[in-house]
Amino acid sequence: MLNRFNARAAKMMLAVTTVVTATLGGSSAAWAAEDTATPASSSPIKNVIILIPDGMANDATALARWYKGSSLTLDSMASGMVRTHSADAPIADSAPAGTAFATGYKSHTGYVGVLPDKATMPGQKAIAPGDAKKPIASVLEASKLAGKATGIVATSEIMHATPADFSAHYPDRKNYDALSKQQVYNGLDVVLGGGSRYLEPAGRKDGENLVSSIKALGYDYVTTPAAMKASNSGKLWGMFAPAGMAYDMDRDPAKQPSLAEMTSKAIDVLSKDEDGFFLMVEGSKVDWAAHANDPIGIISDVLAFDDAVKVAMDFAKADGETAVVAVTDHGNGGLTIGNNATTGTYDKEPLSTFIGPLKKAKLTGEGVEAKLNAKRTNIKAVMKQYYGISDLTSEEIATIKAAEPGSLNYAIGPMISKRAGIGWTTGGHTGGDVVLYTYAPNNDRPFGVIDNTDVAKYMARVLNLDLDSVSKQLFVPAKQAFTAKGATYKLDLTDVKNPKILVTKGSTKLELQIYKNIALVNGKKTALEGVIVYNGVDAFVPQGAVDLIQ
């Protein structure tokens, strides 16, 4: 008993030292080296589940807790705070914020899984010559090379910034063609979420049919909750919406699974791998609701996210070899419980002032749109039935009527916020620290204030992965490597459907298909250990591709 007490006391002292160091200006990197110093060989952890409630500000969990009327699963897991800035801005975009979680490196706005081209924030090292926009390995990719099963789950399109950060590489989050093709060919075992439109020829600039490719690669491709549940395949790809999935409050359970159900299924499939697994789960639309200043959407999907966290935690506690991390990539909206109208009465307002109006809502603003008729002449009736609002002003009615399709939550969110005393400072992201929630069976988890890059470093350490080594293995500068072998090198981008690298040496002709893991050696197909990446300037290939030229 005494030894156990001493060990716990030492851990507490280490956490205190960390906080003091950070307060006095010590770097978060130094913190990570100290606080995560448990030898990897002594860790029993072989699985990691990271859950990301995109854009979830601190007040969002408080609001969801009051609305629910009881504690959240997240509450028992809080262990620290995370700094969210990117390489060149104090307020991060989701792409570089997710890249930090996935790779351990900060990046630039819009950049997915690649290094930035500039690093101007205090404490950031300058980008080495030739490293700008260079792809870097994610914890997911390193886990895959270590023999682990891997998966991504999201309520957005799966090629959206955060899920793409873990499974693809390109310095433009809007290039869905490049990102989705890499995801298809990057060897994941489970992919569940939205975005089927961007896998089909009509939704792609290159016109490629990636649904056919997914099926040809051996995935069980499912589009309904029932089919997802019934699948017995070890390779599962589920698409449940053309783009983003519905908010949980608006969801038709016969057409779309919940985030918790997708998380559960992903764990069921991945946990069959004896080598362990890595799973990323994103509650994507917390962020979308915050952009719209829509408190109902936030409550809907924070609670849905917390249900998914419970699924992960129940598995982890029963399994005994799984670490769970839950952390948002940045705040959004500047949500506050209390607004200008409560300035003089904030400490006298009962809970019902804030929660009462919210409880009357039966759908999010997005869900209400489907209840309006074509000419939107039934606005008063719909708002009374689904929001309990019977005092709409003429200006509010006009705002709802004029709202563009797909953006009604931007009109209705501020209306319910005003009635519920909910404040907002912006329609964009915010730069404050966010809460870190963690669980590990041996309590080897981060404490204190850490950097977003330390999240990746923690996950890599407990899984005994070397991310830098994997980056060197997966992303070799192609032109440099092949010309060094005396081969001729050509980057051929003329065919948008099949951009490729052509390498010739003697009688050997090598074709490498960009954004895929396919190599053709004198016409014979070979699967590589990773995808070919083109970042708009240079191409990068796995070392295995280089080794095909002798």
Percent helix, strand, coil in the chain, to 5, is 40, 20, 40
Cα 192 to Cα 44: distance, rounded to the nearest angstrom: 28
pLDDT value at residue 42: 53
Give catalytic residue positions. 94
Question: Which DSSP category does 66 fall into?
Answer: H
Short-list 434, 330, 294, CA closest to 109: 330
- Residue 197 main-chain phi, psi, to 5 deg: -55, -35
Cα 271 to Cα 73: distance, rounded to the nearest angstrom: 22
3-state secondary structure of 289: helix
Asked if residue 453 lies in contact with residue 105, where contact means CB atoms within 8 angstroms, the answer is yes
Looking at the DSSP assignment, which residues form a beta bridge with residue 52? 282
pLDDT value at residue 497: 86
Short-list 339, 492, 342, 494, CA closest to 423: 339
For 475-546, CATH gives 3.30.457.10
Which two structure tokens, joined as six digits, stand for 422?
Answer: 């909910």
pLDDT value at residue 43: 54
Q: Which residue has the tokens 């890059």?
A: 453
3-state secondary structure of 94: helix
pLDDT value at residue 496: 86
Cα 74 to Cα 438: distance, rounded to the nearest angstrom: 9
Which residues, 6+ apart, have CB-to-CB distance to 247 below 8 Å? 285, 289, 297, 300, 301, 364, 366, 367
* pLDDT single digits (tens) 522-548: 999 999 999 999 999 999 999 999 999
Asked if residue 339 lies in contact with residue 423, where contact means CB atoms within 8 angstroms, the answer is yes
Cα 19 to Cα 247: distance, rounded to the nearest angstrom: 38
Short-list 310, 289, 308, 309, CA closest to 299: 289
Positive or negative, the Cα torsion across 510, 513, 519, 520? negative
Residue range(s) in the chain whose domain bears CATH number 3.40.720.10: 49-335+435-464
Between CA 199 and CA 207, with CA 203 as vertex, the angle to 5 degrees is 80
Short-list 250, 246, 229, CA closest to 238: 229
For residues 499-510, b (16+ Cβ closer than 10 Å) or e, as one string?
Answer: bbbbbebeeeeb
Between CA 145 and CA 153, with CA 147 as vertex, the angle to 5 degrees is 85
3-state secondary structure of 187: coil
Asked if residue 137 lies in contact with residue 103, where contact means CB atoms within 8 angstroms, the answer is yes
* pLDDT single digits (tens) 473-488: 999 999 999 999 999 9
Which two structure tokens, joined as six digits, stand for 347?
Answer: 């400490």
Rounded to two decimals, the pTM is 0.92
For domain 49-335+435-464, say whether CATH 3.40.50.800 is its number: no
Residue range(s) in the chain whose domain bears CATH number 3.30.457.10: 475-546
> How many helices and strands (H and E) does the chain possess?
21, 22
Which residues, 6+ apart, have CB-to-CB distance to 9 below 8 Å? none
* pLDDT single digits (tens) 24-70: 233 333 333 334 333 444 558 999 999 999 999 999 999 999 999 99
Looking at the DSSP assignment, which residues form a beta bridge with residue 325? 50, 438
Positive or negative, the Cα torsion across 512, 517, 521, 523? negative
Q: Calculate the alpha carbon distances from 516 to 120, 373, 520 in Å.
A: 33, 45, 12
Which residues, 6+ apart, have CB-to-CB distance to 471 below 8 Å? 135, 136, 137
pLDDT value at residue 39: 41
Short-list 181, 174, 150, CA closest to 95: 174
3-state secondary structure of 344: coil
Short-list 270, 278, 280, CA closest to 326: 280
Which two structure tokens, joined as six digits, stand for 285?
Answer: 């639309």
Cα 363 to Cα 382: distance, rounded to the nearest angstrom: 11
Cα 223 to Cα 216: distance, rounded to the nearest angstrom: 17
Cα 12 to Cα 269: distance, rounded to the nearest angstrom: 37
Strand order in the sheet with 476-477: 476-477, 539-541, 533-534
* Per-residue pLDDT tens listing for the chain (550 residues): 333 333 333 333 333 333 333 332 333 333 333 343 334 445 589 999 999 999 999 999 999 999 999 999 999 999 999 999 999 999 999 999 999 999 999 999 999 999 999 999 999 999 999 999 999 999 999 999 999 999 999 999 999 999 999 999 999 999 999 999 999 999 999 999 999 999 999 999 999 999 999 999 999 999 999 999 999 999 999 999 999 999 999 999 999 999 999 999 999 999 999 999 999 999 999 999 999 999 999 999 999 999 999 999 999 999 999 999 999 999 999 999 999 999 999 999 999 999 999 999 999 999 999 999 999 999 999 999 999 999 999 999 999 999 999 999 999 999 999 999 999 999 999 999 999 999 999 999 999 999 999 999 999 999 999 999 999 999 999 999 999 999 999 999 999 889 999 999 999 999 999 999 999 999 999 999 999 999 999 999 999 999 999 9
Looking at the DSSP assignment, which residues form a beta bridge with residue 331? 430
Cα 142 to Cα 483: distance, rounded to the nearest angstrom: 27
Burial class of residue 56, CB neighbours in 10 A (0-12, 13-18, 19+): buried
Ranges of H-type helices in 206-294: 210-216, 225-230, 259-270, 285-291
